[in-house]
DNA sequence: TTGAAAGCGCTAACAG
DNA sequence: CTGTTAGCGCTTTCAA
């Protein structure tokens, strides 16, 4: 046979402690109304047996799973930051997180389906790519909180993307930059708003004729490609705002390799303040999404809905803030 | 009340189809011995109600969870690659993956405990930091497969670390390099073997007196620090082997910023072949761990143990291979 | 081929 | 404070 030891059940513990199952149940859950002596004996019996409650049975009986499903893209640096913070946010909520990763070979549909089978009570989806109607349909079955994407028919927690880019442009303009470019995120969630924020801020600073948007993307490679395009121009920009940190990392790399000094010759601003930006050797000036607030809101919203509180789907917009590091400086002239 | 729809149960489907619960159960599991007509009616009823089996109840009854628990460090690039591959490896195994992340605020103990509560049938642990005795104790309770770390008392799937570094040194020596340094991984899993492999290979090439090991680590920042140390030496090496890709990325960055051309002046070799190494703008020569093989072995080993097949704990050592990209070249003189 | 009944490990009423 | 009972949604005998 296997080396698998049969796991002790609540009944085993009860037998060993010489009490009823109910008492053991109460003790294990830390409920009140058990004499200290009994509590003590039960604890000892449980420890001796190495008893661990079976969450499946527990949840089956109580009709709930106390599980919050999280769908995330495991290769996205920012999602990783969000998941990390979600664990913290959920810590004292009475709910556990059930992770389901989207990988190149495992799509969102699959990731979601497995969470549904686990009877998660709500879904928190990070930057989902699922079409809005499908998302809305899903939201009729269980509470769905969408993070980092704007969509109707579900609860949304997102960053004020346009405002973030405004802050970036304000910062650069304040440093004297005029030729400020934007490497965008294409069709990625939030990209349209960030483009708009950039454009509006440029106009607000009277830099309308310097508006310059280049196709980028979410990845390092896409950033690198865009940066090369920029370098080959007759009059390259003195500052670049980039869709996200990951993409900005690619941009930085190309600049440095080309011998362009950052920030002396070109300033670069990212977006997200993901762990990438904080790396000492990158030290990227960026627009920080307020991850603790966003994740706290996401968990709170999910629970509200589970409790049947919220009625209409709401969108919470969280303000980002500028974090100045080493990739921005005064314009050289 | 909440917008939560009560999920239909097997009983609901049975009622609607006008058959017994047993039949529905058989149909849902695709078992034989049900007339086509009945099968058809049950299918329709299930679809009409949007029925989805409750995995918890199913597993409770059958006494199994068919779950493989995975403990991983969400911030480690290589773990992310492994998790991605594990999903693929487990796809047709009849088991599902249950992910539990280790974060700065959620340690391995906590990550493991939640998996145990879910009654995972086996644990796959990626580069665990848990002390060997604790790991061995855990392995007496359920099958534990350790990936990317060598430890007694559990099943181990790991890369031939020393051999990997030998390949790196062979490659560099073949390019004419003599002053080859090694930035190590300190106490990280595998670091000792990689150090040893480096040292042995250097001696094998008659380069014993050039052996030069510098304290590094697993992260970009640690690599950057080590690289700076190296640059400040009177006679810097012409080639550097680095503990892993992540650390090598930090090394590269410092070199490039210092105006050192790679590979013209200094060659760099990483380890892992994580997605970082493949980024076009990094294009790091590296020692590739055979991720598909390792993950396939890990899943297979876990299942063997669950089935009670394997007896003694075994260590499977997978051979890595050199992937030549753009960070290595002939020595300049 | 189909159905009835038992029970997985646990919690929630309720009674003592 | 403690024990008894019933049953969560499902699978699994066992009979029909």
pLDDT in tens, B143-161: 999 998 989 889 999 999 9
B53 CB near a chain A CB, below 8 Å?
Answer: yes
Q: Which residue has the tokens 């640096």?
A: A77
Q: Residue B214: what pLDDT?
A: 97
Task: For strand C, give the nucleotides within 7 A of a protein CB.
Answer: 1-13
Q: Which residues pair with B315 in a beta bridge?
A: B156
A1 CB near a chain B CB, below 8 Å?
Answer: yes
For the cut 60, the answer to whether the pLDDT of residue B4 exceeds it is no
Q: Residue B64: what pLDDT?
A: 82
CA distance A237 to B169: 43
For the cut 50, the answer to whether the pLDDT of residue B304 exceeds it is yes
Chain A residues with CB inside 8 Å of B101's CB?
Answer: 83-84, 87, 99
Q: Residue B8: what pLDDT?
A: 87
Please give the average per-residue pLDDT across A259-276, as a whole number.
94
Contact B243, B259 (CB under 8 A): no
Q: pLDDT band at residue A5, thresholds of 50, 70 and 90?
A: low
B1 CB near a chain A CB, below 8 Å?
Answer: yes
Architecture of domain A65-159+291-319: 3-Layer(aba) Sandwich (3.40)
Strand order in the sheet with B285-288: B213-214, B180-183, B239-242, B267-272, B285-288, B321-323
A48 CB near a chain B CB, below 8 Å?
Answer: no
Please give the average per-residue pLDDT across A116-126, as a whole number.
92
Q: What's the CATH fold of domain B1-49?
A: 434 Repressor (Amino-terminal Domain) (1.10.260)
Q: Residue A3: what pLDDT?
A: 37
B87 CB near a chain A CB, below 8 Å?
Answer: yes
Q: Residue B3: what pLDDT?
A: 37
For the cut 70, the answer to whether the pLDDT of residue A215 exceeds it is yes
For the cut 70, the answer to whether the pLDDT of residue B333 exceeds it is no
CA distance A132 to A109: 13
Nearest-CB residue to B305 (from A2, A121, A250): A2
For the cut 80, the answer to whether the pLDDT of residue A309 exceeds it is no
Tokens of A241: 């705002």
Is 0.75 surpassed by the pTM of this model? yes
Please give the average per-residue pLDDT across B240-264, as a whole number.
94
A142 CB near a chain B CB, below 8 Å?
Answer: yes
Asked if residue B263 has a cis previous peptide bond (ω within 30° of 0), the answer is yes
Q: pLDDT band at residue B119, thresholds of 50, 70 and 90?
A: confident
Chain A nearest CA to B20, separation (Å): 22
Tokens of B251: 């090394």
Asked if the domains B1-49 and B161-290 are classified in one and the same CATH topology, the answer is no
CA distance A28 to B26: 36
CA distance B88 to B116: 23
Please give the average per-residue pLDDT across A121-137, as a whole number.
94
Q: Which of A62, A86, A94, A101 to mutate to test the interface with B (most CBs of B within 10 A)?
A: A101
A179 CB near a chain B CB, below 8 Å?
Answer: no
Nearest-CB residue to A308 (from B2, B119, B221): B2
Nucleotide C13 C1' to residue A61 CA (A): 13
Residue A4 Cβ under 7 A from any strand C atom: no
A65 contacts B84? CB cut-off 8 A:
no
CA distance B28 to B327: 54
Task: For strand D, give the nucleotides within 7 A of a protein CB.
Answer: 1-13
Residue B80 phi, psi (nearest 5):
-60, -40
Please give the average per-residue pLDDT across A166-187, as a whole number.
97
Nearest-CB residue to A118 (from B55, B60, B141): B55
Chain A residues with CB inside 8 Å of B254's CB?
Answer: 281
Chain A residues with CB inside 8 Å of B9's CB?
Answer: none
Q: Residue B294: what pLDDT?
A: 97
**Least confident stretch, A99-113, A270-284, B207-221:** A270-284
| CA B190 to mean position of chain CA atoms | 13
Chain A residues with CB inside 8 Å of B256's CB?
Answer: 253, 256-257
Q: How many degrees, rounded to 5, is the angle at CA A32 between CA A31 and CA A37?
A: 105
Chain A residues with CB inside 8 Å of B117's CB?
Answer: 52-55
Task: Name the residue ranges covered by the structural domains of chain A.
Answer: 1-49, 65-159+291-319, 161-290
Q: Which residue has the tokens 């002939």?
A: B330
Q: Residue B5: what pLDDT?
A: 54
Q: Residue A227: what pLDDT?
A: 96
| Residue A63 burial by Cβ neighbours in a 10 Å radius (0-12, 13-18, 19+) | exposed
Q: What mean pLDDT is reported for chain A?
A: 92
For the cut 70, the answer to whether the pLDDT of residue B2 exceeds it is no
Residue A21 Cβ under 7 A from any strand D atom: yes
Q: pLDDT band at residue A118, thresholds of 50, 70 and 90?
A: confident
Q: Which residues pair with B211 in a beta bridge?
A: none
Strand A285-288 vs strand A321-323: parallel, antiparallel, or unpaired? antiparallel
Q: Residue A1: what pLDDT?
A: 34
Percent of chain A past pLDDT 70, that is, above it, reads 98
Please give the average per-residue pLDDT across A217-230, as a whole number.
94
| A161-290 CATH choice from 3.40.50.2300, 3.40.50.1110, 3.30.43.10, 1.10.10.60 | 3.40.50.2300
Q: What mean pLDDT is reported for chain B?
A: 92
CA distance A99 to A80: 11
* Per-residue pLDDT tens over the stretch B88-108: 999 988 899 999 999 999 999
* Per-residue pLDDT tens over the stretch B167-181: 999 999 999 999 999
CA distance B85 to A208: 48
């Amino acid at each position: 046979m296997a080396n698998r030891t049969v796991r002790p059940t609540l009944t085993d513990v009860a037998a060993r402690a010489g009490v009823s199952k109910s008492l053991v149940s109460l003790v294990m859950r830390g409920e009140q109304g058990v004499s200290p002596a009994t509590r003590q004996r039960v604890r000892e019996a449980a420890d001796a047996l190495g008893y661990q409650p079976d969450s499946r049975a527990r949840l089956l009986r109580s009709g709930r799973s106390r599980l919050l499903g999280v769908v995330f893209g495991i290769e996205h640096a920012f999602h990783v930051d969000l998941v990390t913070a979600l664990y913290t946010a959920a810590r004292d909520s009475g709910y556990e997180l059930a992770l389901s990763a989207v990988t190149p070979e495992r799509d969102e549909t699959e990731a979601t389906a497995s969470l549904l089978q686990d009877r998660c009570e709500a879904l928190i989806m990070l930057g989902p790519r699922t079409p809005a109607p499908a998302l809305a349909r899903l939201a009729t079955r269980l509470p769905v909180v969408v993070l980092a994407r704007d969509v109707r028919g579900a609860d949304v927690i997102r960053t004020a993307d346009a405002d973030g880019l405004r802050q970036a442009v304000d910062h650069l303009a304040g440093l004297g930059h005029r030729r400020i470019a934007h490497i965008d995120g294409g069709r990625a969630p939030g990209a349209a708003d960030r483009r708009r924020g950039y454009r509006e801020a440029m106009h607000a600073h009277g830099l309308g004729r310097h508006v310059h948007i280049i196709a980028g993307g979410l990845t390092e490679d896409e950033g690198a490609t865009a940066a090369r395009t920029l370098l080959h121009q007759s009059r390259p920009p003195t500052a670049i705002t980039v869709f996200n940190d990951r993409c900005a990392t690619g941009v930085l790399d190309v600049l440095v390799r080309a011998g362009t000094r950052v920030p002396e010759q070109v300033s670069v601003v990212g977006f997200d303040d993901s762990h990438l930006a904080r790396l000492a050797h990158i030290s990227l000036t960026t627009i920080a999404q307020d991850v603790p607030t966003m994740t706290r809101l996401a968990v709170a919203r999910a629970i509200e809905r589970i409790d049947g509180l919220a009625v209409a789907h709401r969108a919470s917009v969280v303000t980002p803030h500028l974090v100045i590091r080493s990739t921005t400086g005064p314009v050289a002239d």
